[in-house]
Amino acid sequence: MAVYVFGRTDAARDGPQPFDPGRHMRQVADLVGQVFADELDARGRSALRDMAFAGRLSPYLGGLISQALFSDYVSGYVWTENGHVIGNVSLQPVDQGGLRWRISNVAVAPEHRGRGIAKALMAETLHEVARHGGSWALLQVRADNPVAHQLYLGLGFTDVCREGVWRLPMRPNPLPPLNPAVPLEPLRTLTGAEWWELARAARPPLAQWAEPLDAGRYRLGPAKVAGEWLARWAGFCRVERWAAWQGQQLMGVVESVANLAGSTDTLRFAVLPQARGTLEHSLVVRGLHSLAGPSWRPVLVEHSGDHSEGVAALGAAGFRIQRDLVTMRRAITPADKR
């Protein structure tokens, strides 16, 4: 099999150009791996390995394999110099209708920054969204990345919502006490429908617009309950859900998942907007009590950074922010069509 390695010079075509999986995949993987070395999680690293692998093959085969590996349509722009990719912006449709598009992997090699490369690649990418008939461009940027945030603000993006991941490395000693003034009881529901309604109501509308919650993560039902029971019996995983009710109204829920055979546990919680500030602390503490057992694993929580009372409750329980992402959006205007 012919193996084609990138690196040939093609200076005539230098500058911004549409991302071509067959020609650019490997170099984009290298650039993104270099620029985001500190940020990539295991999944990101594995995706990059796949990209680099596909990019090592011939343009034709590499293109085919990349399509198979990355089932979503991926496009975008690269900037090359002497045939080498030194800047990249990736683009993917978010929804089937192609109204919203996600921009990612915005990266310029360190020695080429400050020359307007990112700005030019972003402008080309917004132009491509317009050509596809898209209405919105979306992206995420780390809250502690003012350079990139400024780049996007300058291009007309605005903040939509904030999402974070918090981590509690050590078991609090002693565990914070449960608050008897906030009675919680095991969540009893046949389908999870009330929990799903609560989670949707708790999520800020713009956050729900940008990244709708996955209903499947809230659906319960006999099969799921039986599966959880079995996993608990086998000593594999222990799931608990505790709820705060006001009459028939579900006001707050916390779910704890103790991965007895894994390396981290998780908590997630939601509070109805009208109960904000009254339940968060009790839910987080309840979750920690549910996780407490003979062994302790670090606890991860994914939660909206816009829910200030929730963020405060996590901080008070000893959680520290691990990833703090701002979602931004920009409407596509007739001017983007050029």
Q: Please say whether the beta carbons of 267 and 217 come within 8 A.
A: no
φ, ψ for residue 146, nearest 5 deg: -65, -30
Residues 7-36 that bind ligand COA (CB under 6 A): 35
In the bound state with ligand COA, the residue whose beta carbon lies nearer, of 143 and 237, is 143
Shortest Å distance, C-beta 92 to ligand COA: 15
Q: How far is CA 105 from CA 80, 91, 184, 290, in A?
A: 16, 9, 43, 38
Q: Please say whether the beta carbons of 250 and 243 come within 8 A.
A: yes
φ, ψ for residue 57, nearest 5 deg: -85, 175
If one asks whether residue 160 binds ligand COA (CB under 6 A), the answer comes out as no
User: Among 29, 78, 85, 108, which residue interacts with ligand COA (rule: CB under 6 A)?
Assistant: 108
Which residues are paired to 303 by β-bridges? 164
Binding mask 126-155 for ligand COA (x = CB under 6 A): ---------------x---x-xx-xx--x-
User: Among 78, 94, 118, 284, which residue interacts with ligand COA (rule: CB under 6 A)?
Assistant: 118
φ, ψ for residue 296, nearest 5 deg: -130, 130
Shortest Å distance, C-beta 22 to ligand COA: 24
If one asks whether residue 119 binds ligand COA (CB under 6 A), the answer comes out as yes
In the bound state with ligand COA, the residue whose beta carbon lies nearer, of 25 and 326, is 326
Residues 229-268 that bind ligand COA (CB under 6 A): none
**The pair of three-digit structure tokens given for residue 269, joined into one six-digit string:** 């919680």
In the bound state with ligand COA, the residue whose beta carbon lies nearer, of 147 and 316, is 147
If one asks whether residue 199 binds ligand COA (CB under 6 A), the answer comes out as no
**The pair of three-digit structure tokens given for residue 326, joined into one six-digit string:** 């701002």
Candidates 22-30, 116-124, 275-283, 291-299; binding stretch for ligand COA (CB under 6 A)? 116-124
Binding mask 33-52 for ligand COA (x = CB under 6 A): --x-----------------
Candidates 13-21, 92-100, 106-114, 224-232; binding stretch for ligand COA (CB under 6 A)? 106-114
Total of residues contacting ligand COA (CB under 6 A): 18
If one asks whether residue 106 binds ligand COA (CB under 6 A), the answer comes out as yes
φ, ψ for residue 81, nearest 5 deg: -140, 125
**The pair of three-digit structure tokens given for residue 294, joined into one six-digit string:** 């003979």
Q: Which residues of 22-31 are buried (b: 16+ CB within 10 A; e: fewer)?
A: bbbbbbbbbb
In the bound state with ligand COA, the residue whose beta carbon lies nearer, of 113 and 232, is 113
If one asks whether residue 206 binds ligand COA (CB under 6 A), the answer comes out as no
In the bound state with ligand COA, the residue whose beta carbon lies nearer, of 115 and 131, is 115
If one asks whether residue 107 binds ligand COA (CB under 6 A), the answer comes out as yes
Q: How far is CA 71 from CA 12, 63, 64, 93, 134, in A?
A: 32, 12, 11, 12, 20
User: Among 11, 49, 95, 115, which residue interacts with ligand COA (rule: CB under 6 A)?
Assistant: 115
**The pair of three-digit structure tokens given for residue 318, joined into one six-digit string:** 């000893």
Q: How far is CA 258 from CA 200, 296, 297, in A?
A: 24, 9, 8
CA distance 56 to 5: 5
In the bound state with ligand COA, the residue whose beta carbon lies nearer, of 151 and 225, is 151
In the bound state with ligand COA, the residue whose beta carbon lies nearer, of 69 and 148, is 148
CA distance 95 to 98: 5
In the bound state with ligand COA, the residue whose beta carbon lies nearer, of 139 and 198, is 139
**The pair of three-digit structure tokens given for residue 55, joined into one six-digit string:** 């990019």
**The pair of three-digit structure tokens given for residue 178, joined into one six-digit string:** 């449960």
Q: At what angle do helices 21-35 and 42-56 cross, to 10 degrees?
A: 150
**The pair of three-digit structure tokens given for residue 16, joined into one six-digit string:** 């911004």
If one asks whether residue 68 binds ligand COA (CB under 6 A), the answer comes out as no
| Chain contacts with ligand COA (rule: CB under 6 A) | 35, 106-108, 113-119, 141, 145, 147-148, 150-151, 154
